[in-house]
Amino acid sequence: MFTVPDFAHLQQWIIRSTEDDVRRALDREHVDIHDLAALLSPRAEKYLPQMAARSSRITLQRFGHVTQLYAPLYLSNLCVNRCAYCGFSAGNRIPRRTLTLNEAEQEAMILHERGFQHILLVTGEAPKAAGVDYLEELALRLRDRFAALSIEVQPLEQAEYERLFRAGVTAVAVYQETYDRAIYQQVHLAGRKCDYDYRLDTPARAAAAGMREIGIGSLLGLADWRAEGLALALHLQWLRKQFWRTSFAISFPRLRPAAGEFQPLAPVSEKNLSQLIFALRLFDHNVGLLLSTREEERFRNGMIGLGPTRYSAGSCTAPGGYSQPDIEGEQFSVGDHRNLAEVSDALIAKGFDPVYKDWDKEFQVFNLESLSS
Amino acid sequence: MLTIAGTQFSSRLFVGTGKFASSREMKEAVEASGSQMVTVALRRVDLNNPHDDIMQALDRTKIHFLPNTSGARNAEEAIRLAKLARVASGTNWLKLEVTPDPRTLLPDPVDTLKATEQLVKDGFIVLPYINADPILALRLQDAGAAAVMPLGSPIGTNQGIMTAMQVEIIIQQARVPVVVDAGIGAPSHAARAMEMGADAVLVNTAIAVAGDPVRMAGAFRAAVEAGREAYEAGLGKPSKQASASSPEEGMLTPDLDFIQD
């Protein structure tokens, strides 16, 4: 099992980096974990343009002039957890709702009509209302209409991920929120999510189940982002060693205003976020990097081609929000309100091809024989 | 310290026992190499005869004995040979070699994987000799191989690490130790493999056919130690740019004015 080094140790590691370390790291064809520590350090800040240039070159070489697009589909905002930062936290007084399978299908079809081929199914943690049976049934209903289905739901067991994979789910996103154990305990006040180690082991369970892509990430704003970056890289490195058949992606969710009015414990500026994205791209040339509608239009446009490979678009974070745009009960308020066509146009204007379909359901069609094995 | 299948080795130099002028010279060379892992071709040694030259020359209390299946042309032959070896030698360690082409002695990936799967099930500690194919290395690791032994160049060619790019990928990806085997013709080749991060190297011909095999064994010992030390000390890698701190020629620095805070 993956274990995270002590957070203070990670911070020390980064802080000790000298400007020479940064320059050496920028010179390297392959940035290792020590170089990454330097690139995440305050000393690297004045080299941001060089980091951006390098990150852009690597991204172009590996992924080309394309950006993938997807939309989240919020299925339920019920949650058994009390997380200080989250709009869905059990303690918040918001209208609660779990879409019926028919309602969920209707929402999905709206996204389909808008042109989306890749959707991310999202729930809070409410296994009774939106458990594996529910997700499996929904995936079976949607699989023929979408090229790819991802999930961002409560941590599951490996056998449950296997069921969902066979039902057509391609990818799993599960973010540690923070790798800093002390802060983790501080912001997760009640519920199953309080178990740091179970969550930390979740990407490995999903990968072991055969999922094609695993998304990891930290919720930026909880703990020192530099050490978060290093911990993320260590986690990624470990996962790659264990699961060489699996693709990986990293998300960079920055805390957004949400019900509960939680204020970031460790604010992360756009400059910080950029440094984190560039540094991780230099560290891992192949990892998918996601920039969601948490970020504003200006920032997302500016970042096109510099490192990120996948954008969400036209997102609503409340269950039922695509058929009823003024609905309440969102997880957080988004920063970029453009629809799919507008985001696509911005990509095209920068010389990038917006890619809607980059997978096919046929990859995950199983015959009875393989189901029983 | 190098650990393979729970056994620790303080030396990262493995040596072969073939091609020496005499078993006395082989014994002295093995001692000078400091090696704790010595591979022996099953077809060369009479395991049932305690007076066999090779067997007598090796102090098996100090040196780990690694029988190899040299000469096997397919999985079936290799498995049969391995089982005979285990009975006679009392060790379940095995360097798996499946080489259908007697000219190049290049390993057969398909039968090597097949034999590994079977031998692991049968309780062997399998170290397969392979071409420097990263996916094959991972498939063997998944099948339960205790280490992988990619070749630097075809056996006996003394060409060094011609497969460097592939070997580097194997080193980056593998969870099991990586032992660079075959093609290492000079101590500098061994040092390079160790600098790249290989866990060990296996050398035979370059020592056995040297003018003075015992001195050459000592030279390889020093090279392997130096290479490992350099790797652990954090080698400055060659760079394509003179300095990244100055704007790179021919590369536009992106406009980052969109970043607001």
On whether residue A1 sits in a domain, the answer given is no
Asked if B79 contacts B119 with a C-beta cutoff of 8 angstroms, the reply is yes
Give B24: exposed, middle or buried? Use CB within 10 Å, 0-12, 13-18, 19+: exposed
Q: Encoding tokens for residue A195?
A: 């178990």
CATH number for the domain including A358? 3.20.20.70
3-state helix, strand, coil in chain B (%, to 5): 40, 15, 45
Helices (H) and strands (E) in chain B, counts: 9, 10
Q: How many domains does chain A have?
A: 1
Phi and psi, residue A110, nearest 5°: -65, -45
For A347, the domain range is 7-372
pTM: 0.85
Q: Give the model confidence (pLDDT) of A268-327 as tens digits.
A: 999 999 999 999 999 999 999 999 999 999 999 999 999 999 999 999 999 999 998 888
Distances B127 to A169, A369, B170, B178 between C-alpha atoms, Å: 37, 33, 15, 10
On whether residue A66 sits in a domain, the answer given is yes
On whether residue A56 sits in a domain, the answer given is yes
On whether residue A318 sits in a domain, the answer given is yes
Whether B249 contacts chain A with CB within 8 A: no
Examine the residue annotation and report whether B62 is marked as an active-site residue of this protein.
no
Distances A39 to A15, A53, A121, A252, B220 between C-alpha atoms, Å: 11, 14, 34, 17, 38
Angle of helix B23-33 versus helix B213-233 axis, rounded to 10:
20
What is the SS3 assignment for A311? Answer: strand
Q: ipTM, 2 decimals?
A: 0.81
Distances B29 to A18, A67, A137, B55, B199 between C-alpha atoms, Å: 46, 59, 68, 15, 21
Per-residue pLDDT of chain B (261 residues; tens, 9 = 90+): 999 999 999 999 999 888 887 888 888 999 999 999 999 888 777 766 767 777 777 777 888 989 999 888 899 999 998 988 888 788 899 999 999 887 888 999 999 999 999 999 999 999 999 999 999 999 999 999 999 999 999 887 889 999 999 999 999 999 999 999 988 999 999 999 999 999 999 999 899 888 899 999 999 999 999 999 999 887 765 555 554 455 454 557 888 989 988
Q: Give the model confidence (pLDDT) of A93-151 as tens digits.
A: 888 999 999 999 999 999 999 999 999 999 999 999 999 999 999 999 999 999 999 99
Q: What angle do CA A234, A238, A243 make, to 5 degrees?
A: 145
Q: For residue B231, give how far its alpha carbon lies from the nearest alpha carbon of chain A (Å).
A: 13
pLDDT score, position B174: 94
Contact A50 B241 (CB under 8 A): no
Cβ contacts of B136 on chain A, cutoff 8 Å: none
Contact A26 B261 (CB under 8 A): no
The one catalytic residue in B19, B27, B62, B95 is B95
Nearest CA in chain A to B236: A24
On whether residue A307 sits in a domain, the answer given is yes
In chain B, what are the domains?
Answer: 2-233 (3.20.20.70)
On whether residue A160 sits in a domain, the answer given is yes
Whether B239 contacts chain A with CB within 8 A: yes
On whether residue A105 sits in a domain, the answer given is yes
Q: For residue A35, give how far its alpha carbon lies from the nearest alpha carbon of chain B (Å).
A: 11
On whether residue A341 sits in a domain, the answer given is yes
